[in-house]
Structure 1
């Protein structure tokens, strides 16, 4: 939290300079001169899930209310409230039947998965959800260092230090603002083609489940900085550092960082295999998949038995060789 704080005029809670609303009572924060303020919208048909904590505006077309993230039916209706309005969104390109085919095709892959997983998996819930993201842009300046084993002729030692400077500009860095999906999950379904984003008013959000922004801009910034550091390290490594190197590090200075709130399409699916439920995600624009899957304990048991058998055979062979050598 920054040093610039003031009290909410309604409940007296402290409000940070980057807060759009009071975290305690939801009152809209006053506008500060010179500060970029996110636009807001009124969230209706909004629910909190007691199972996973997700906060979402539910599709008016849904029958039974059930959380798309965890499958819980323990949803609490919220009063209409202000929430961050997206500045852009990407429409769903993957249809329901395509999403199911993609999931079953993916479940066939992987040696350690049960052989009947794709056919036996029962889809319990399949929901197209607009998930909130922050899209960051920034200019960076870095001092990089590394060790390389490429030494001048006649030099002693195995490694020598190298260093340099680099400037770059990065755009389209995504930081998930979901309260239910983990950063690993939101990273795994990317990337999205952000050039295809459209104005939010062109999408009928009433036909979809829309998750509220649960990660504010100020809390997304540290994740964005970590992402920028990783991108800059990769860029310096590829452009400047010799092939045989180690300890590549960058000291980063971020300039002109900005971001915009965006809603991105993700199919969230819950499938049951035997007595356990697993979550599966599909990028609603590109079809990229990511999800949980069970392990075949039968295959694992066979592999362990084979490994133990091979180990015993090796020990027996070594003992036999030692016995022969001792005669």
Structure 2
């Protein structure tokens, strides 16, 4: 029997030349890189499907809205990446270590409910990376050379959970109102001066707040995604599209490693912070104290979503560096190595230059 091919692994050939069609960033089309033929991705008109949370927590999501996909585990950095079956070999998007298709294994995952497709093309992201590298002072020449090779930049979809819920919280606390008193004190020089002191009058407060918490976003991977800087980890979720596997064509997809149950616990911590902000706003005054809070979440739903990032990996003197570009808005951030010799010769040159200036001044 031939092995079954899963939905997320199906490759659509070009009707003109037979080459693989890949997603064209910034559009709802898949296109052929060879002959330019394009086809429309038929996304669902009904929008996203919000899945009921507790049935999934009970059944672990193994029965419904899930499927089996091929994965490769990077032995160097630990990242799990979804592998397209047409690759004979490839490299890890995080550390560039070789991955071999024969090492692939099957794993169940909860199907994404939505995806934010790449809005900028790989060529554009490479130019952003190259421009960023050229601005780095004291960067090694090898890094400059690496920035000239597009193969170091790869598109990656990152997994996240989003949670929706109706929040209701009862609280008790205190409302603080500022007032000011003036008094005479002796300063450090021994002089008596007038000083204004701020004080607070506290009044009891209690009440109830409620509202809808929409799209609490929780990262769904403990692996290399943990290194993605906060600077670029912001996406416009209004651009989310109902999931279609054609949006993934030509890109790597990282599988979630934080289970739904753990993601839910983290979302509850975020909901508590939101509830406290609502309570403080409801208490009013100049400052607030919350003595107790009883929070309840109802009508809880979730989605598994994929968000776009371009990644470039580079090794220098045995150490790994990563550069990240937000695939939606082009924001870039990353770590960088420094060239010892460039800094050393710059210091020597600077010292000689200062010495020369001093000698000229003396003469």
Same fold (TM over 0.5): yes
5+ long unaligned stretches in structure 2: 1-53, 183-196, 348-363
1:284 maps onto 2:327 in alignment: yes
**Bigger Rg over Cα:** 2
**Structure 1 residues 83 and 149, CA gap change in structure 2 (3 angstroms):** same
Match of 1:26 in 2: none
Match of 2:270 in 1: 227
**Structure 1 residues 49 and 249, CA gap change in structure 2 (3 angstroms):** farther
Match of 2:312 in 1: 269
Q: Is the contact between residue 181 and residue 199 of structure 2 (CA under 8 Å) also seen in structure 1?
A: no
Match of 2:67 in 1: 41
CA separation in 2, counterparts of 1:273 and 1:247?
Answer: 51
Q: What are the residue-to-residue correspondences of 1:1-327 with 2, within 5 Å?
A: 17-21=58-62, 37=64, 39-44=65-70, 46-59=71-84, 64-73=89-98, 77-106=103-132, 114-116=137-139, 120=144, 122-123=146-147, 125-142=152-169, 143=171, 145=173, 148=176, 150-151=178-179, 158-161=199-202, 163-164=205-206, 165-183=208-226, 185=228, 188-201=231-244, 203-236=246-279, 241-242=284-285, 245=287, 251=293, 252-272=295-315, 276-294=319-337
**Structure 1 residues 269 and 144, CA gap change in structure 2 (3 angstroms):** farther
- How much does 1:277 deviate? 2.9
Q: How many residues end up aligned between the 2 structures? A: 267
CA separation in 2, counterparts of 1:232 and 1:193?
Answer: 23
TM-score scaled by length of structure 2: 0.60
Query: Alignment partner of 1:65: what SS?
Result: strand
- How much does 1:160 deviate? 4.0
User: Cα RMSD over matched residues?
Assistant: 4.0
The C-alpha deviation readout for 1:239-279, integer Å capped at 9, x for no partner, is 75445x47678833323221111111111221355764311
CA separation in 2, counterparts of 1:99 and 1:87?
Answer: 26
Q: Which structure shows the bigger proportion of residues in strand conformation?
A: 2
**Structure 1 residues 167 and 204, CA gap change in structure 2 (3 angstroms):** closer
5+ long unaligned stretches in structure 1: 5-15, 22-30, 32-36, 303-327
